[in-house]
A and B are shown apart, each in its own frame.
Chain A
Amino acid sequence: MAASPRRITLRSYQVGFGDCFLLGFHYKRSSRFVLIDFGSTGRPRGAKATHMVSVAKDIAQTCGGKLHAVVATHRHKDHISGFARQPDGSGSGEVIAALNPDVVIQPWTEHPDAKPSARQAPRGISAAGRSFVGMLEDMHTVAAAVAAEASSMPATSRLARQLAFMGDTNLPNPAAVENLMTMGKERRYVHFGSSSGLRIPGVKVRVLGPPTLEQSETIASQRQRDESEFWHLMALAEGAHGLGSGRLFPRRYELTSPPGQRNRWLMDRVTKLRPRQLREIVRILDKALNNTSVILLFEAGDHRLLFPGDAQIENWTYALSKPAVRELLTEVTVYKVGHHGSMNATPKTLWNGFTRRSPDKNDPGRLETFISTLAGKHGSTQRDTEVPRRTLVKELSRMSNYHTTETVRPSVLFLETSFDLTVG
């Protein structure tokens, strides 16, 4: 195999609201492929139920039956649901597993030995880290309860739809998680500064996130204790009572006649308050899981390709606090837009540092940006929280060659861009 790739291809698959990127490094006589995420929470409009299997088969065909690596940036459904196996063996997860990746990369928070119940903590993961992982497990329990509670609300309610969507995104995805834990030859659980485990000739890969708790200065130990305690009790609360199972007090205390007129106004108000409360809960946990995202920077020839998953500002803070990393990021040539273009996953410090940004459409060295998203699924235009965020999209369109999966018809499956590398 040649020492350096001559060409890089990036395939952005149309998976609706989710991420699925196939990165190909092409040498004179061979290629190596890295699949970064494969999930969806909302199929593209007009796509068939078997759409994800079609995507998996296309990946298999493109890579010639062999993946060098699979990267599952974090546990959200819109990033890993495609890795799920089906009981009858017909899932997209079986197709990907058959590609026998050399390495499967996930964040340190997914390390099976990092769970609080594990007998031995893996090297580099402290008691606080294990407690954090326990907290993530509790969050999944809460998400499941919220999704179930949302399903009992009137489907016409916008809030109920939002809740169902966010709750669903944060569900544990055991079928996908188990497949990721067993597929391929080697599993790597990475954090800022750790080795990625990727072996791509002529390509240097750096892990820029997530930081460990010890690295992240934004997480104080007391706050961490409170947070874990909070989610543990929330999980208990939702698990035991979230669906109103059983009686709180003996039946003799229950009122069987309708409540008085005076109380109906209040009861009506409080009933409407509950979904808003649940939305706040899932927003908090959604954010926490996003911030476990793996951030990878690929350096090949004069190209730097940045894949941050759904990392939000809190995850980015540690990497951006390092002058050397900030300097490294200034030369990014390809940027996968974080978190489907949400308001707080492309920190302005990061964006403003990209020297390849240019308003000149004819600039040959202009920054290339890629986004996989579906408008109308997440956030609200009235509250300026819509995904993708209008102001960000405007800036991306103005200052980069902007590629979005929203323009790809489901039958086409993907858009592909190719970058030639200067061979030294």
Chain B
Amino acid sequence: MDTAVRLRTRTLTVIAQDPGVTDPTAPRGRRILRAGVEIPAEILDPGPGGYRVQVVDFDVSRNTSYKPCLIDPVDDPYARSTDRQLLRDPHFHCQNAYALVMRTLARFEFALGRRVSWGYHNHHLNVLPHAFADANAFYSPDDQALLFGYFPSRHGDHTVFTCLSHDVVVHETTHALLDGLRTRYTDPSSPDQGAFHEGFADVVALLSVFSLPSIVGRVIDLAEGAGGQEPQIRREAVTLEALRRSGLLGLAEELGDELSAVRGNPLRRSVDELWPPSPRPYREDSEFLEPHRRGEILVAAMMNAFLQTWTHRLHDLGEIRVGHLSRERVVEEGAQIADTLLTLAIRALDYTPPIHLEFGDYLSAMLTSDVAVRPDDSRYDLRTRLLKSFRAYGIEPSSSSGAGDEGMWEPAPTELSYSRTHFEPMRSEPDEVFRFIWENRGALEISEQVFSRVLSVRPSVRVGPDGFILKEVVAEHVQTLNLRAGELARYGIKRPADMPRDLEIRLHGGGTLIFDEYGRLRYHIHNDVLHPKRQSKRIQYLWENGFYRKDSAALREFSNLHRQRAAGLTLVPTQEEW
């Protein structure tokens, strides 16, 4: 059989972070830090065009199309290229974007144990690596595309290509994947939900970068000072404070240099600005009500949990000589922890409510989903560290269940009827899941007064702690209620003082059902459509921030979101407007 057909995966060269992050010890002409990433193998069309990703090299600013890139089915064509070749060859740019998008997709599919769809009804995601001359890059669901801009460097001596930035490509791909997994997370809701898309995309991007050993090695070299690449490093160079100050922050400055114009520098923010966590509750601070600023709290909580876990592991690591650790082991630990945390972060999405997410929900989702597949956490103690780190930023888990570990979701009610439904169709058919919900609407606390719909039913297959296959079914349902503002009081929901009584309001709620391999409901993670306290708070926030205006949709477009974030725009209180 042909080698190209037999391969399940292949390796392609990518720029490890962006061309600004270099390895001073590498030979001249090959200083840009690179990595070989493993991605699913496939027979590619020119573009490259694969089964999920199509690269289309069209530049709208110049109205120019570039010749599509042809990638050898087996060989890694840029494995030995010079820096100059990587920067000047648009075909490498296409390959770089393709490989990073595919790696991110594969990472999500691995964590979730199934194929993951984009947020629209098409199999392909279009990627335009040189879409326009602009300091911007974004996911456009209407165009089913990721668009990457380019712009001159500060000194005008070279062009900055956003498609060559690892974390920008992964960040945008994550938007597309999250949109497919939780389509309602772009709806107007709480400040947390508005921030989650940005914050989560940053978390995935940064952990994706830190799961590459070459990047972890660079962090250590920065912490260690000049030279680097020695087989041993000083223990003092890799303490929590030393890494934060000299290593991570150094990298944050490198990778944030010019690309901060695209969406700020989340690493710098999380490592520098939001550390140590202030005793003042960030989430109550008006500055952190803005989605792009608030997302940084999530990044800070996650990245600090990563750092604490890593340095704790290093604390227990044996010394190869007095006061010195093995560089290889330190790098390996860092990359492995980033990889484990990344899997955990993605897997948790299945355990989040389908709508109106708050950071505390996500924390409970992480703690619960991780126990299912990784009950023994003694190696990293990640769950405890996550809980501690989130709490330091004022985020408490949404579940205060006393069952199991702290912060985990409460188990589903046990008094449920399964007699009129069949598990096999429940693995894929929304109508069958809806029948189950209808039969159990009382126990599941679903109001009959509202419109209900099953959004998705997704079977998931993971490897359990005992090495056996763990099968779950994840189903999302949503509820909708249309009413006038004057009717809110009937449900105990407060109407903002200056909101007109005749304003049409649409309330949403919903839940995620997690069924185990026997078809029994394990968790029902839900936000009730008629929850007086949460809905009152949400409506007040949305009203104050202009989300009931006709032109509010533009506020939520990803292209504008990044621009608002980079330009430091603030939300304007609607009550002051006409």
CA distance A241 to B287 in the complex (A): 34
Q: Contact between A254 and B152 (Cβ–Cβ < 8 Å)?
A: no
Which of A155-163, A358-366, A382-390 sits within the interface? A382-390
In the bound complex, residues from chain B placing their C-beta under 8 Å from that of A277 are 132, 134, 136, 559
B551: Cβ under 8 A from any A Cβ: yes
| Majority-rule SS of A interface residues | helix
What 1/0 flags go to B117-132 for Cβ under 8 Å of A? 0000000001010111
Whole-angstrom CA separation of A391 from B62 in the bound complex:
42
Q: Which single residue of chain A is at the shortest CB-CB distance from B286?
A: A218
A284 contact from B61, B135, B559, B567, Cβ within 8 A: B567
Tell me the minimal C-beta distance from B553 to chain A in angstroms. Answer: 9
User: Contacts A242-B61, A277-B134 hold; do A344 and B576 have CB atoms under 8 A apart?
Assistant: yes
Q: A242-B133, A248-B59 are in contact. Are A270 and B147 (CB under 8 A)?
A: yes
Q: How far is the CA of A232 from the CA of B155 in the complex (A)?
A: 11
Whether A248 contacts B150 by the Cβ 8 Å rule is: yes
Name the distance in Å between B82's Cβ and chain A's nearest Cβ: 16
CB–CB B67/A343 < 8 A: no
CA distance A248 to B68 in the complex (A): 15
- B151 near A237 with CB under 8 A, answer yes
Q: Which residues of B contact A344 (CB under 8 A)?
A: 572, 576-578
Which residues of the partner chain A approach B563 to less than 8 Å between Cβ atoms?
280-281, 284
B567 touches A227 (CB 8 A): yes
- Is the beta-carbon distance between B135 and A230 smaller than 8 angstroms? yes
Task: Point out the residue from A226, A253, A267 that lies within 8 Å of B566, measured CB to CB.
Answer: A226
Q: Tell me the chain A residues, 227-268 only, with Cβ under 8 Å from chain B.
A: 227, 229-234, 236-242, 244, 247-250, 253-255, 259, 263, 266-267
List the A side residues contacting B261 at CB < 8 Å: 229-230, 232-234
Chain B residue nearest to A384 in the complex (CB): B550
> A394 CA to B388 CA in the complex, in Å?
54
Interface string of A300-335 (1 = CB under 8 A from B): 000000000000011000000000000000000000
Contact of A314 among B90, B559, B570, B575 (CB under 8 A): B570
Does A269 sit within 8 A of B, measured CB to CB? yes
Residue-wise, chain A 345-358 has the 8 Å CB interface mask toward B (1 for contact) of: 01111000000000
Q: Are B67 and A253 in contact (CB under 8 A)?
A: yes
Q: B140 within 8 Å of A by Cβ?
A: yes
Residue of B62, B66, B287, B576 most packed against chain A (CB within 10 A): B576
Chain B residue numbers with a CB within 8 Å of A274 are: 60-61, 132
A248 in contact with B145 (CB, 8 Å): no
Q: Does B2 contact A (CB under 8 A)?
A: no
Q: Which residues of A contact B144 (CB under 8 A)?
A: 266
B381 at the binding interface (Cβ < 8 Å): no
Q: Which of A379-411 contact B (CB under 8 A)?
A: 380, 382-385, 389, 391-392, 395
In the assembled complex, the Cα of A187 lies from the Cα of B151 at a distance in Å of 38
A1 in the interface (beta carbon within 8 A) = no
Interface contact A255-B131, CB-CB below 8 Å: no
Question: A119 at the A/B interface (Cβ < 8 Å)?
Answer: no
Counting CB contacts under 8 A, is B420 at the interface? no
Task: Tell me whether A343 and B577 are in contact (CB under 8 A).
Answer: yes
Instruction: Decide: A240 near B152, CB < 8 A? Known: A218-B570, A266-B126, A281-B563.
Output: yes
Shortest distance between the CB of B121 and any CB in chain A (Å): 15
| Main DSSP-derived SS at the B contact region | mixed
What is the minimal beta-carbon distance from B352 to any residue of chain A, in angstroms? 29
How many residue pairs between the two chains, A and B, have CB atoms under 8 Å in the bound complex?
170
Asked if residues B56 and A255 are in contact (CB atoms below 8 Å), the reply is no
Cβ of A118 within 8 Å of any chain B Cβ, yes or no, is no
* Alpha-carbon distance A266/B144, docked complex (angstroms): 8
In the complex, A306 Cα to B572 Cα: how many Å? 23
Residue pair A267, B67 in contact (C-beta under 8 Å): no
Judged by a CB distance under 8 angstroms, whether A49 is at the interface is: no
A385's partner among B140, B258, B551, B566 (CB-CB below 8 A) is: B551
Across the interface, which residues of B come within 8 angstroms of A239, CB to CB?
Answer: 152
Task: Output the nearest chain B residue to A385 by Cβ-Cβ distance.
Answer: B551
| Per-position binary interface string of chain B over residues 37-60, scored 1 when its CB falls under 8 Å from any chain A CB and 0 otherwise | 000000000000000000010111
B578/A346 in contact, CB under 8 A: yes
B62, B66, B145: the one contacting A266 at CB < 8 Å is B145
A224 at the interface (CB under 8 A from B): yes
Interface residues of A in 32-55 (CB under 8 A from B): none
Does the CB pair A233–B572 fall under 8 Å?
Answer: no
Query: Cβ of B142 < 8 Å from any Cβ of A?
Result: yes
Contact of B62 among A222, A248, A284 (CB under 8 A): A248
Contact with B along A368-382 (1 / 0, CB 8 A): 000000000000101
Chain A 262-301 interface 0/1 with B at a Cβ cutoff of 8 Å (1 = within)? 0100110111011001001100100000000000000000
Q: CB-nearest residue of chain B relative to A259?
A: B65
Residues of B within 8 A of A123 (CB): none
Would you call B490 an interface residue if the criterion is a C-beta within 8 Å of the partner chain's C-beta atoms? no
Chain A residues with CB below 8 A from B569, complex form: 284
Q: Which single residue of chain A is at the shortest CB-CB distance from B575?
A: A348
Q: How far is the CA of A272 from the CA of B142 in the complex (A)?
A: 12
Cβ of B64 within 8 Å of any chain A Cβ, yes or no, is yes
| Contact B90 A249, beta carbon cutoff 8 Å | yes
A236 and B151 form a contact (CB under 8 A): yes
> In whole angstroms, what is the CA distance A253 to B578 when docked?
52
How far, in whole Å, are A344 and B578 apart by their CA atoms in the complex? 7
Q: How far apart sit A238 and B65, CA to CA, in the bound complex (Å)?
A: 20
Query: Which residue on chain A has the smallest CB distance to residue B91?
Result: A253
Q: How far is the CB of B268 from chain A (nearest CB, A)?
A: 9
- In the bound complex, residues from chain A placing their C-beta under 8 Å from that of B260 are 226, 229-230
For A227, give the chain B residue with the smallest CB separation: B568
B156 at the interface (CB under 8 A from A): yes
Are the CB atoms of A391 and B566 closer together than 8 Å?
no
Distance in Å from the Cβ of A259 to the closest Cβ of chain B? 5
Q: B273 interface residue, CB < 8 Å from A?
A: yes
Give Cα A235 to B476, complex, Å: 45
- Whether A259 touches B59, Cβ cut-off 8 Å, given contacts A218-B570, A229-B261, is no
Question: B81 near A: Cβ within 8 Å?
Answer: no
Given the complex, which residues of B lie within 8 Å of A233, measured CB to CB? 135, 151, 154, 258, 261
Nearest to A316 among chain B residues (CB) is B576
Whether the pair B66, A237 counts as a contact (CB closer than 8 A) is no
Q: State in angstroms the CA–CA spacing of A267 and B54 once bound together.
A: 13
Q: Which residues of B contact A254 (CB under 8 A)?
A: 64-67
Q: Is the C-beta of B264 less than 8 angstroms from some C-beta in chain A?
A: yes
State A314–B134 Cα separation when bound (angstroms). Answer: 27
Expressed in whole angstroms, the Cα–Cα distance for A96 and B546 within the complex equals 42
Residue of A222, A226, A314 with highest tally of chain B CB at under 10 A: A226
Contact between A384 and B568 (Cβ–Cβ < 8 Å)?
no
Q: Which of B253-284 contact A (CB under 8 A)?
A: 258, 260-261, 264, 269, 273
Asked whether, in the complex, the Cβ of B143 is within 8 Å of the Cβ of A348, the reply is: no
Q: Is the CB of B573 within 8 A of A384?
A: no
CA gap between A266 and B575 in the complex, in Å: 40
The verdict on B447 contacting chain A, using a C-beta distance below 8 Å, is no
Flag whether B560 is at the interface (Cβ < 8 A): yes
Q: Which residues of A contact B149 (CB under 8 A)?
A: 237
Would A313 and B576 be within 8 Å (CB), given that A248-B62, A280-B560 are in contact?
Answer: yes
Q: With a CB–CB cut-off of 8 A, which chain A residues contact B573? A: 313
List of 4 A-B pairs having minimum Cβ-Cβ separation, nearest first: A241-B133, A237-B151, A223-B568, A233-B261
Q: Which B residues lie at the A interface, using CB under 8 A?
A: 56, 58-68, 88, 90-91, 126, 128, 130-136, 140, 142-145, 147, 149-154, 156, 159, 258, 260-261, 264, 269, 273, 287, 549-551, 554, 559-560, 563-564, 566-570, 572-573, 575-578
- The 5 listed contacts between A and B (C-beta, < 8 Å) are A226-B260, A273-B140, A280-B559, A314-B570, A348-B576
Task: Spell out A's residues near B (CB within 8 Å).
Answer: 218, 220, 222-224, 226-227, 229-234, 236-242, 244, 247-250, 253-255, 259, 263, 266-267, 269-271, 273-274, 277, 280-281, 284, 313-314, 343-344, 346-349, 380, 382-385, 389, 391-392, 395
Having A273-B140, A284-B569, A314-B570, one finds 19 other A-B pairs with CB under 8 Å, namely A220-B287, A222-B273, A227-B567, A227-B568, A233-B154, A234-B135, A236-B152, A236-B153, A240-B151, A250-B88, A266-B58, A267-B60, A313-B573, A313-B577, A344-B577, A348-B575, A349-B576, A380-B551, A383-B551
